[in-house]
Structure formats: structure tokens, C-alpha cells
Structure 1
Amino acid sequence: MNRNDDVELPADWDDDSDVGAERRRGRRAALIAFGLVAVLVIGVGIVVGSYLNGLRNSYEKRSVVDITRAEGERPEAEEGTGQNILLLGSDKRSEEAAAAEGVTGQRSDVMMLVHIADDGESVYITSFPRDLYVDIPGHGKDRINAALAFGGPSLAVTTVEDYTGVPIDHVALIDFEGIEGLVDTLGGVDVQVPTDFEADGIEYTAGTQSMDGREALVFVRQRKQFADGDFQRNRNQQAVLKGIADKLISADTLTDPRRLADTIEEVSPYLTTDEGLTAGEMTKLGLSLRSIRGDDLYFLSVPHGGPTTTSGGASVVATDEEAMDVLREALRTDDMGTYYAQYAGAY
């Protein structure tokens, strides 16, 4: 029936009887109820729209950087091979803390390459030792975490792209204050502690330990308490990231709008991303990963050699090019599942 077709009214529509009047009252009540429902739906839509807009406005408080490169300089992207996101944790302190500690600039004490499989069913997080000795474009060979100090997230992306041979789709950098605030906003996270130790007056006990923001932050910065130093610190950083991810993707967090809003509001001022990682792109990415759970996150370390000393006397971590080529091929072809099965825990 078209909208302009004549509508045949029921025979009793103009009935003046008591029954007809009752029916008309019933119809008016139904129409009023329908109208109220319509207003309610529209109102909810407005509220939801305002809420999403609020989240978007909070997210826009982040800083943005340009990670584009001249044509031909970036590794070629191949269709159907997933996405690569570089996560950086900066040791940037507040001005007061930096002055007290005599620290200038910032270096990426946390550097992880997140590979999202093309089918959206699994995510592989590969950590880089902060002292890995690699080529940094325009600066020669140096520790990989120096790229952030030399040229910010853009140079860190360029360095990792050149080293891994795959394009980086997005980058996200968060400083220590943001990590602490994120964990506190989530109400703490459960972290797997490798052994008993003490740091900054905090006791850590082997096994699963619930941590607030400060406890998690102190935990990810420790290395001298462990025989393998930075390598165990990488594993500890992964443990905290897994705790955060488990909390973020848990049902109670995803279905709690207030907590989600608070999380975005808390973290955004400490977050730097590439210009392309907009609120819309984040939403799209989140939807593509809606079936991911904690067991679908796989953690590993980039292949590397042992500790060594440069000609200038600096202590660094050597690369392992032969083993690295295997990882490069797995990333390039989106075959990280096979790689993980063979090399998980090897480094």
C-alpha cells in the first residue's frame, strides 16, 4: 500500500454508541502510548548520541603526530595481511619529577608491535628489548628506544618499519602517568608476578597479584631485581598489558558506559596517536575485535642476541638477523599463528 492510497476506516469508527466511544478512547490511548514510545526512543537516541559525542570529545584531548613517509620509503602493504600497531610507553615524567631525577627528554621503555590477524580472531604482541642495537634513520646505530628521543613517535615508527619490514598502520604512545591513571580507572588489574621481590616500598609476591596504578607502574619499571634484567621487565610489561586487556574486554567494563567514559577521559590527555587513529577509526577497530578475549592475545619477544658492548663502550643487546627474518616473513604474510606455535618463549 502506498502512503497516498485511501485507507478504509473500520465500520465502527464513527459509531456514536458507548462501545464506539470506548473503542475510540482505546485507539487514542494506543496512539498516545505509541507517541510516548517514539519520544522515548528518540530521547534515548539523543542521549546515546550525546554520550558518544562526549567520548569522542574526550578522546580528542590526545596529541596527534604525522607518521606518513615519502612514497617508496615505507614497506609495501599487502592485502589480507592484517594490521600492525606500534605501542610505546614513554618514560616522560612531570616537570617536577624530571627535575628531581635529573631526567631530560623521553625514551620508550615499552615498545610493542601489535599484529592483528586479518580475520580479527587473534592478536600477537611482540616486545622489543629497549637496548636492542639497530639502525635509526638519520642517527646511525643506537638502542632502539633512542628513536623516540631523537624524533618522537614518527621516528620510532620509521625505525620499527625498517627493522621489521612491515608497514605500521597506527601508533599509540602513553606516558607513565597515563598508565597509572588507566589502571586506577579500571579499578586495578590482576598481574602475574614471576617471583617475590620488593621495590619502592611495595612487596610483590609470586603468582597472581591485584595491583593499583602505582603498584603496576613500579612493577613495569623494575629490572635490577631480575637475573635477566630488561628481558624480564619486557615480560612484566606484557603481564600488565594482559591484565589491562582482560579488564577492558571483560563484560562488566564494556557494558558500563560510565566506566568506559571515565577511562577515556583519564587516559586521553596522556595519549599521543597518529592522525589517522581517529575516534571513528578506534570505534571501527573495536568493533572488528569484539569477539577477542584474553585467551586470544599472544605475547612473545622479538628475536635477539645476547648483551654486547659497542666500540664506544655502551652496553646493548645484539640483533639476530637470521631469526629475525623468520619473524619478518610471518608478519608480512599474516602467519603469526604458525610462528607463535614454533617460537613462543624462545626469546
Structure 2
Amino acid sequence: MDDTTPSNPDLDNGSRRTRRPRRRKALIALFVIGCLVAVGGLLTDRYLGSLQEAYEKRSVVSLDRGASDGERPAEAAGDGQNILLLGSDQRATAEAAAQEVSGQRSDTMMLVHLPADGSEAYVTSFPRDLYVEIPGHGQDRINAALSYGGLPLAVNTVEDYTDTPIDHVALIDFEGITGLVDTLGGVDVHVPESFERDGMQFTEGTQHLDGEEALVFARERKQLDTGDFARNQNQQQLLKAIAGELLSGDTLSSPGKMRDTIAALSPYLTTDEGLDSRTIVQLGVENRNLRSSTLHFLEAPHGDPYTTAGGASVVASDEEGMEELRTALEEDTMDEYAAEHAD
């Protein structure tokens, strides 16, 4: 006797009818997803391509980096990055860039430390008249390094002084601030101290600045109570306001605004070769969770102003304070350092 259960044609046909629509729906869904991925990839490529085209307007220099003793500082304990930001009042021409930006002095110098997890950023300002050892040139103001040897010597000087390896460097001419701020629609800046300059009034408190006002705000020091120290604070406040606008949802969600912002800044920007568009995108992805509230602004430890035997007005270094900062950078514990020293 055959125990095989007879097949049920109606049941078989129903199962097939059920499976076929499901398969068709699955195939259609996969096709739609594939199309979306393809279109998304195409749009992403075009978007990144437009950003790259805008960014490549910058000037580029090669860094031959080595500390004064021929050895660069040891790598930090963590996997974070250090970027040196310099600001100059003299526009870097193509000829000057080809000569590694010689002849300029960096009126603004900030060391940006980005931890590996991208959760925070630590911006440390150095007084432009800080009296330090410049490799091959003896003691001088720290801002003279750019004049003596361009970006490579500026990097070497800061690496030596902080005992910290610097991964990238960027020099911006102050004139670029005007276009950058105007592209962002202006920025709301905290003005620490009231002053007037060039017919513009800056009043203590929060003030909306356009590009021209932001440029004057970043440059002024003579009318401020503590001169260059107060200007450093103003520049930090401006940088914080710009970063807050750049990191806002309105800017990040607008490809056109991002492209226009980069295009406005790039002609005034000089970087090392390694800080190319791919690296910028990678840094953006790694630090995508940054917000203005996670930017910590610090001042490098220093002593009081004094006059050298040669009659130069300089700012004394603070070796004890610097050792604390060097340790924090080396051990990647800037969070602990900032908790004690952030403004």
C-alpha cells in the first residue's frame, strides 16, 4: 500500500500564487533600493566633486617637518589629531605660497586637538609675542617663525615648544573672514569688551556681525584693555560663532551653502599637501558629532610681558604651565586639562 499522501492541487497552486507575488515584491523592493543607492551615490559623487572643486582653490605648500634636533615629537597615546591654525593680515600670493609663504607673520596661532572619538575639540591660542626658541634662529617672538621659514618652520617651532606632533597646518588670510561670514549670513558673536573702530561700534554682549564687522573685530587690539590677549579672546569668540553656524543643521543640510562657504574661504587658505579634500571630508565624518557646545577654548600658559635686552616687547613663557599642557597633549587627556583651564 502506498502511504504517500496525495497532493492537493488547489493547495499547491495557492502556495505558488502566494510565493510569486512575494518574490515579485521582494525583487521590486531590491530594484528600488538599488536605484536609490545608485542615484544617491551619483548625487554624493557630484556633491563631493563640487566641494572638492571649491576647496582646491586654496594654495598648497610642502612641509619638510623635523624638530630642531632632527627628531619629531613622539606620537600621542591616543589616535587624535593636531591641526595648527594660523592667521595672517597679508594675503598670500601665488609667488609667496611657492616660496612657502615667506615674509608673513602669524598674528593668530591656534592649536586644535581633535580626540579620536570626535566628541570634543580643544582650541589653544598662543600670544603672538610669546618669546620662544625658533629652530635655527634663536629666541624670538613665536609669530616670527612664519616670516623666517614659512609654514614648515612655524610647524617645527610649535612642535618643539609643545613637544607635540602636528598632523596638518592651515593659514588663512584675514580677508577671507569677510566672505566666509557673509556667506553664512553673518554670525552672532559674544563681544567681551566694548570698543569702536572704523566707525563701527562693538558693544559688550552678543552682537550680530557681518563680514566686514567680523574682520575689524578680529583685527583690533590697540583699543582693548589687555591688547593682544584680549584680541586672542575676541578671535576665539568669532571662531566659536563661525563654527557654531557651520555645525548648525541649516548649514550641514544644505549642499549649496556648504559649497558656497568652502568656495568663499578657499582662495584665502594655504594648507599642507596632506590636508586635501578627501582628508577634509574624512575629518568631517569623524567629527560629525561636534557642536559649538563641545568646542573648548584655552589659552597657552604664559608669563607677563617684558622688554628684552635688545628692546623688544615680548611675552614670557611659563614652563611649569606648559609642562602640564604638554602632558595632556601627549597622554590625550585634554578633557581633564580643559576642565581645569577652559575659559
CA distance in 2, matches of 1:40, 1:327: 49
Equivalent residues, number: 317
Please point out which of 34, 48, 57 is paired with 1:61. Answer: 57
CA distance in 2, matches of 1:338, 1:244: 25
CA distance in 2, matches of 1:269, 1:223: 26
Q: Which residue of 2 aligns with 1:88?
A: 86
Residues 56 and 93 of structure 1: is their aligned pair in 2 closer, same or farther, counting only changes over 3 Å?
closer
Say whether residues 1:106 and 2:129 are aligned partners.
Answer: no
Amino acid at match of 2:308: T
Structure 2 unmatched ranges of 5 or more: 1-11, 15-19, 94-101
Q: Give the TM-score of the pair, scaled to structure 2.
A: 0.85
Partner secondary structure for residue 305 of structure 1 = strand
Please point out which of 137, 140, 144 is paired with 1:139. Answer: 137
CA offset at residue 319 of structure 1?
0.6
CA offset at residue 11 of structure 1?
7.0
Amino acid at match of 1:167: P
Residues 32 and 319 of structure 1: is their aligned pair in 2 closer, same or farther, counting only changes over 3 Å?
closer
Is 1:65–1:272's contact at 8 Å kept on the other side of the alignment? yes
Q: Which residue of 2 aligns with 1:155?
A: 153
CA distance in 2, matches of 1:120, 1:229: 34
Q: Deviations over 1:86-112 (max 9, x none)?
A: 0011111489xxxxxxxx932111100
Q: Which residue of 2 aligns with 1:291?
A: 289
CA offset at residue 35 of structure 1?
7.1
1:177-326 maps to which residues of 2 (within 5 A)?
A: 177-326=175-324
CA offset at residue 150 of structure 1?
1.3
Is 1:92–1:105's contact at 8 Å kept on the other side of the alignment? no
Is 2:74–2:165's contact at 8 Å kept on the other side of the alignment? yes
CA offset at residue 66 of structure 1?
2.0
Is 1:305–1:318's contact at 8 Å kept on the other side of the alignment? yes
CA distance in 1, matches of 2:208, 2:42: 38
Tell me the percent identity. Answer: 61
Stretch deviating more after TM superposition (79-88 or 294-303) = 79-88
Say whether residues 1:52 and 2:57 are aligned partners.
Answer: no
Runs of 4+ deviating beyond 3 Å: 30-45
Partner secondary structure for residue 119 of structure 1 = coil
Stretch deviating more after TM superposition (47-56 or 157-166) = 47-56
CA offset at residue 152 of structure 1?
1.3
Q: Which residue of 2 aligns with 1:335?
A: 333
Residues 162 and 36 of structure 1: is their aligned pair in 2 closer, same or farther, counting only changes over 3 Å?
closer
CA distance in 1, matches of 2:35, 2:298: 52
Instruction: Output the aligned Cα RMSD.
Output: 2.6
Q: Which residue of 2 aligns with 1:16?
A: none
Residues 36 and 169 of structure 1: is their aligned pair in 2 closer, same or farther, counting only changes over 3 Å?
closer
Is 2:103–2:148's contact at 8 Å kept on the other side of the alignment? no
Partner secondary structure for residue 271 of structure 2 = strand
CA distance in 2, matches of 1:53, 1:81: 28
Q: Deviations over 1:247-295 (max 9, x none)?
A: 0000000001100010111111111111111211111111111111111
Stretch deviating more after TM superposition (336-345 or 290-299) = 336-345
Stretch deviating more after TM superposition (125-134 or 34-43) = 34-43
Residues 140 and 94 of structure 1: is their aligned pair in 2 closer, same or farther, counting only changes over 3 Å?
closer
CA offset at residue 147 of structure 1?
0.9
CA distance in 2, matches of 1:129, 1:140: 18
Is 1:88–1:172's contact at 8 Å kept on the other side of the alignment? yes
Q: Which residue of 1 aligns with 2:7?
A: none
CA offset at residue 79 of structure 1?
4.2
CA distance in 2, matches of 1:304, 1:295: 26
Is 2:81–2:115's contact at 8 Å kept on the other side of the alignment? yes
Residues 36 and 190 of structure 1: is their aligned pair in 2 closer, same or farther, counting only changes over 3 Å?
same
Q: Which residue of 2 aligns with 1:20?
A: none
Q: Which residue of 1 aligns with 2:76?
A: 78
Q: Give the TM-score of the pair, scaled to structure 1.
A: 0.84
